[in-house]
Structure 1
């Protein structure tokens, strides 16, 4: 049983199991059919798993700039998204980017925005750098094109860690160089939706449960943290313990 995980609401499973990733195509298919999706976050030093139904509305991404205003990222899935600069208590709004922001990062006075461009013909993603001007305007520059569309991000120690449908990449915000941390070509079935680091391990929210990456001699060992009621499948892809 897994301990040390805080649940977001009492109706969720109170018992967890750590399992290895699916070994067969059938189990991967059944996993993709699970309707409940989980997100992982860390708050006050505690690791929290939050359930929501697949296809639920994606919450806005908000980055406050002191009392000046807020950068608000909106993600509408296949319908696209936008990044807005919101001031005057929400009465003034200006669109800065016509893309789907998934993560913000701050480094040496600049704000970096990771955007999902998968709704466009070219696909992939991009990293934008925003610099505030004394005039109240923003200087916006695309500083990196990503082959994989980022789905979520996590900032730590001058790096932005991005999760995609093929694994996890680390972006050095100083050099703007990327490096692969972990690859799994089957993650497209899971639609990862969040990524956090806790006590040396990475947790990626997905359907069925949360992916856990633990450092080892060859990189990272992938295991899954799932409700004990969905350790395996029976019948027509029905969760079973």
Structure 2
């Protein structure tokens, strides 16, 4: 069942039993409905680790990671217009472009920095993981350690394992061996723009356009369900809007 929301929430809300759980879209019309949804949800946690769903902030093309040893990495993602990874000094007076790519997320492991990058645009798609090793304050060794052949859109680091949400599902990247393991597949996710991921009590919650996608363990795989607010318990492909 596909859903589209007609009103955005101004602040974060805690999911409760009032939220409805539905099956993912089952046909092209329902996927088009989800693609045209007016609301988008971002998943996050509060200070106590509680799960929150929120309307995402306006998209910003930059994000950063402060580095031990000084300075910070700045990721700039302008989609089809390009992107880069830059090092910026603590004072802000020095800036050095390290990599031309479309960065999605940074993480650190055993003193190195890892970058997930990629882009899906007009039928073209790529995804990569880079490792950056600092040789001197302004000198880095940069190696591409993994091609993932699909665009990452969100990431969650847990020790040596990096979980990447992509346009085709979820994969787990082992930063020790530079190998990727497919966790869940849904090649239609690119049409609902997944933007964030939280792992809580064995389940994965993924924010996206039109719904929060929930993956629950089911044998050796995961069962995909969509969570929607109570006023979006059903939708019609004809009108693509919520109804009771």
Aligned to 1:28: 31
Please give the residue correspondences for 1:1-241 in structure 2 after superposition, counting only pairs within 5 Å. Answer: 9=11, 15-44=18-47, 45-52=49-56, 56-58=58-60, 60-66=62-68, 68-118=70-120, 123-234=125-236, 235-241=238-244
1:131-154 deviation line (CA, Å, top 9, x unaligned)? 112353111111111211111111
TM-score by length of 1: 0.87
| Number of residue pairs matched by the alignment | 233
Structure 2 unaligned runs (5+)? 1-8
TM norm structure 2: 0.86
11-20 or 123-132: bigger deviation: 11-20
The secondary structure found in structure 2 opposite 1:188 is helix
* Alignment check: 8 A CA contact 1:208 1:230 kept: no
CA distance, structure 2, for counterparts of residue 85 and residue 103 of structure 1: 15
- More RCO (CA 8 Å, sep 6+): 2
After superposition, the CA RMSD in angstroms is 2.5
Deviations, residues 39-61 of structure 1 (Å, cap 9, x unaligned): 112242122212148xx423522
CA deviations on 1:24-75 (whole Å, 9 max, x unpaired) are 322221111102111112242122212148xx42352211114611111111
* Structure 1 residues without counterparts, runs of 5 or longer: 1-6
